[in-house]
A = this chain, B = another copy of it.
C-alpha cells in the first residue's frame, strides 16, 4: 500500500493515525529507505560537488568546513575534488560530478579558466556557485571578498607606516604572468577569475592615489602557489638595486615563503622589511613576529556559497548576484617604519 510509502517518504497526505502505525511497523521491521531508488525517481541526490585547488590549503579547508556545516543543516552531502589549479582536472571533476547527478556545484575555478565550459554545465541545468574567484560573463552567483579593496587597504596601511617601495608576491599561473608585467600594471584586473589580478590592481591604485608610480619589477610571481616559489620571488625582490621596504604576499602560503626568505637573507621583520599577509592562518600569531594580515571570513564564504547554491537548486531564477563579505585588517607586529637608507 502506498500509504506506507507516503508516510515514510514524507510526501502526499497521510492521516496521523496511519503515519503512527507505519512508523511503528517500520521500526520493528528495521526498514531503511533506499535513497538510491528515491534519487532515481526524484532526480535529486542531495549531494553537492565541491571543486577546489587543494584541500590541504588552509583557505580551502576552511571554506569546505563552512560549506559542510551549512550542508549538513540542509541535509546535503559534500563531495570533494582537488584540481591542483589544473584546468584538465577541473573539467574532469566537474564532468564526473554532473554525471553523478549532483544537485549543484561549488567551484573555485583555476586561474584563467575558460568560461565556456562552465557555461555549458549551467545551461544544461546544474546550478553553479563560484567561490573566492569570479568569472565575468558567466551566469553564476559568486561569493568572496572585494579583492581590490582588500589589497587597496593593506597597501594604504603600509603607505601610512611610511613605506613607498612596496613589493607584491603573487602566485599567478605562468601563462598569465606576462599580463602582470605591463608598464604601470595596466589591466591586471581583467585577468579572468584571478584574485591575484584584482588584488594587484588594488595595490596599484593605492600607490597611484598616493602619487607613487607602480613599478613592474616590484610585482613578482614564483609561478605557483607554493612556498618555495614565494621564497625565490622574495629573494628576487630583495636583490633589486632598490629593494622594497615592505612586502605584500597575496595568500597565506606565500606569506610563509616571504617570512622564510627574509630569515634566510639574514634580515629581520619588521626592522628590515615589513610584511602584510592575506588570510589569517592558525600560525599567524605564533610566528616571529606575529603577522599583520588581511583576514577573510573564509568559513562564512563557504556557508554563504552553499546557501546561494541551495536557493538555485530550489529553482531561483533571479539574475546572478556577486556576494562580497567584509575583510578585516588584523594588526600585529610585522609592520614597522621603513628602514632608512643605509
Question: Which A residues form the contact surface with B (CB < 8 A)?
Answer: 32-37, 39-40, 45, 47, 54-56, 58, 61-62, 64-65, 68-69, 72, 77-82, 96, 99-101, 227, 253, 256, 259-260, 263, 281-283, 285-288
Residues of B contacting A96 in the complex (Cβ-Cβ under 8 angstroms): 77
This protein's copies in its complex:
2
**Contact (A227, B36) CB under 8 Å given A55-B64, A68-B82, A79-B47:** no
**Contact (A33, B99) CB under 8 Å given A61-B61, A288-B288:** yes
Q: What would 15 A/B residue contacts be, using CB atoms closer than 8 Å?
A: A35-B99, A36-B39, A36-B40, A55-B64, A55-B65, A56-B65, A58-B61, A64-B80, A68-B82, A78-B79, A78-B80, A227-B282, A253-B282, A281-B283, A283-B286
CB of B65 within 8 A of CB of A54, answer yes
Residues of B contacting A101 in the complex (Cβ-Cβ under 8 angstroms): 34-36
How many angstroms from the CA of A68 to the CA of B56 in the assembled complex? 11
The minimal Cβ–Cβ distance linking A71 to chain B, given in whole angstroms, is 9
**Contact (A65, B37) CB under 8 Å given A256-B286, A285-B260, A287-B287:** no
How many angstroms from the CA of A77 to the CA of B58 in the assembled complex? 21
Tell me the nearest residue of chain B to A65, going by C-beta. B56
Residues of B contacting A69 in the complex (Cβ-Cβ under 8 angstroms): 82
How many angstroms from the CA of A247 to the CA of B191 in the assembled complex? 49
Q: Which of B33, B37, B62, B65 contacts A40 (CB 8 A)?
A: B37
Given contacts A55-B65, A256-B282, A287-B287, 18 further A-B contacts (CB under 8 A): A36-B40, A36-B45, A37-B40, A55-B61, A55-B64, A56-B61, A61-B61, A64-B80, A68-B82, A77-B79, A77-B80, A79-B79, A80-B80, A260-B286, A281-B283, A283-B283, A283-B286, A286-B287
Residues of B contacting A259 in the complex (Cβ-Cβ under 8 angstroms): 286
The minimal Cβ–Cβ distance linking A48 to chain B, given in whole angstroms, is 10
The minimal Cβ–Cβ distance linking A189 to chain B, given in whole angstroms, is 29
The minimal Cβ–Cβ distance linking A62 to chain B, given in whole angstroms, is 6
How many angstroms from the CA of A227 to the CA of B281 in the assembled complex? 13
Tell me the nearest residue of chain B to A75, going by C-beta. B96
How many angstroms from the CA of A220 to the CA of B2 in the assembled complex? 59
How many angstroms from the CA of A142 to the CA of B287 in the assembled complex? 35
CB of B45 within 8 A of CB of A56, answer no
CB of A56 within 8 A of CB of B47, answer no
